[in-house]
Homo-oligomer: A and B are copies of this chain.
Amino acid sequence: MRVSAKADYAVRAAAELAAAGNGGPVKGERLAEAQDIPLQFLEHILLELKHHGIVRARRGAKGGYWLARPADEVTVAEIVRAVEGPIAHVQSTPPEAIEYRGNAEHLKDVWIAVRASLRNVLEEVTLADLVSGELPSVVSDLVADPDAWVAR
């Protein structure tokens, strides 16, 4: 139930690309500096994003990375899936595929709900939202509760 450095880095780099808009390709080095991410590690991450069709790239002078689609069509969920794999799998298998026995029978519903609630957040937030700061109401509602900010 944790968010990996890789996913965090990936979203941050993608946010920079979203902000760059159509100003031409952005070098990996600039992304790394802007978000303070180890360059070589970031390059691997960007490659994964490219393989998943989220980002495009060109080599050589004037080369760099840019978003494959408009920033308001790329969700945080996609990026997380690209680098971390499926969201909220249990024991590495999707919750709907598990058969629970005895008194744990309804646990399946709980894990399904967990996944759905994660999706409700991650699939609603686009890179455009992230950059503009105008987050969808599902997020701002959750964040408005002071209780959401306390550690536990």
Binding site for B on A (CB under 8 A): 1-5, 7-8, 11-12, 15-16, 18-19, 34-36, 76, 80-81, 84-92, 94-96, 100-107, 109-122, 125, 129-131, 133, 135, 138-140, 142-143, 145, 147-152
Beyond A104-B16, A114-B122, A152-B86, whether A109 also contacts B4 by CB under 8 A is no
A15→B110 CA distance, assembly (Å):
13
- Give 10 A-B pairs besides A11-B110, A19-B102, A117-B117 with Cβ atoms closer than 8 angstroms: A1-B1, A3-B88, A3-B114, A8-B107, A16-B104, A87-B152, A107-B130, A110-B139, A118-B118, A120-B142
**Contact partner of A139 among B105, B109, B143, CB < 8 A?**
B109
